[in-house]
Chain A
Amino acid sequence: MRGTIKTEYDEIYSAYADLLYRLALSHLKNSYDAEDAVQETFIAYFYHKGNFADDNHRKAWLVRVLLNKCTDHIRKSTRVKTVEIDDSVAAKNDQDDGVFNMVMALEEKYKTPFLLYYFEGFDIKETASILKLTVSAVKMRLKRGREMLKIALGDETE
């Protein structure tokens, strides 16, 4: 690999690998498929000849591609074995695993905006752009996601 590509790879990988892996693992719940999806995303990046306006644009593009890869994996996945997401989490001693697990258990249409907005720090407009949704649709999904979590937490504490 030419030095320039290696340099760019190092830069991109260190900036986004964890983010992409977290999202992939959240969707696929399988570390093998998550790794595949991340690898495919980086490969797509190096075949993408377009220019990015700025780092946010590039980040949003990578997340968009990753989510598409995850969708592809889910669609054609025939694997039986999965790895529980907890197995891949470094810190296992947090007290409030309940909320985390409930977020992970949300339906995809609510979980994805939830993760992007609350966990990854994208704003509403960016989240909408990544998911190809309107701003109001994202707000609605976030609201419903919160409601579902509240209900789930209520059930758990009863």
Chain B
Amino acid sequence: MNLDSAIKKYNNIKAPDELYQKTLNRIEGENRPKTQFSVVRFASLVAACVCIIAAVTFTLVNGSSSVILTDKTCSVETLDFVPVAQTAAYGMRSLSVIEVALLPIELESDCKVEFEKGRFASRVGNNPPAEIVSGTTVTKGSSLYIVFDGENEYNVKLTADKKEYELIISVENKGKIRLSLKK
């Protein structure tokens, strides 16, 4: 059994060039003062927005700007699950749960977010996501993050333009999240 060629092949695996900068950015995110703003941060904001929009596509209801979601079943691969270590990079160290993922939902209007249980966070622009309490109004253009911390179902009441919506996020089984929205 000759391992030499296998070892050679293995050693030819190199970290992608872009990994250097990606990692550096994340480490910078951990160390940089949160109020600092730079061209790089602005570029990150644009990139993050593009990623979020691409990752989560929601349908407008009634053509109104107040609409947020429609009934939809999405597989996880189409949603942007962020592992816990990455949330730490965004300044969410206070989220101490281990099995956690974040589902970002882009809000198309100012939206009051109410919930009885579960944990939620919002992100305005390129600021780090911040955990919110029930009753917080999340502004248009922000992303709402639901912290999946092991529960099977999360209920949220969203109030936008005086219309109430009930958003139910249920974890059906591996890889499937159902988003259900009722007016």
Q: Which residues of chain A have a CB within 8 Å of any CB of chain B?
A: 1-2, 5-6, 9, 13, 17-18, 20-22, 25-26, 31, 35-36, 38-40, 42-44, 46-47, 69, 72-73, 76, 78-81, 88-91, 94-97, 99-100, 103, 115, 118-119, 146, 149-150, 153
Contact = CB atoms under 8 A, between A and B. Distances in A.
B92 interface: no
Give the 4 A-B CB pairs with smallest separation, nearest first. Answer: A96-B5, A21-B15, A100-B6, A40-B85
22 contacts: A2-B31, A5-B31, A9-B24, A13-B20, A13-B23, A18-B13, A21-B15, A21-B19, A35-B15, A35-B22, A36-B85, A42-B26, A44-B85, A46-B27, A78-B175, A94-B5, A96-B6, A99-B5, A99-B6, A103-B6, A103-B10, A146-B1
Interface of B: 1-3, 5-16, 19-20, 22-24, 26-28, 30-32, 75-77, 81, 83, 85-86, 88-89, 99, 101, 174-175
B27 A9 contact: yes
Q: Provide the main secondary structure of the chain A interface.
A: helix
Given A1-B27, A42-B27, 10 more contacts: A5-B27, A9-B27, A21-B16, A22-B13, A38-B23, A39-B85, A40-B83, A91-B8, A99-B2, A100-B9
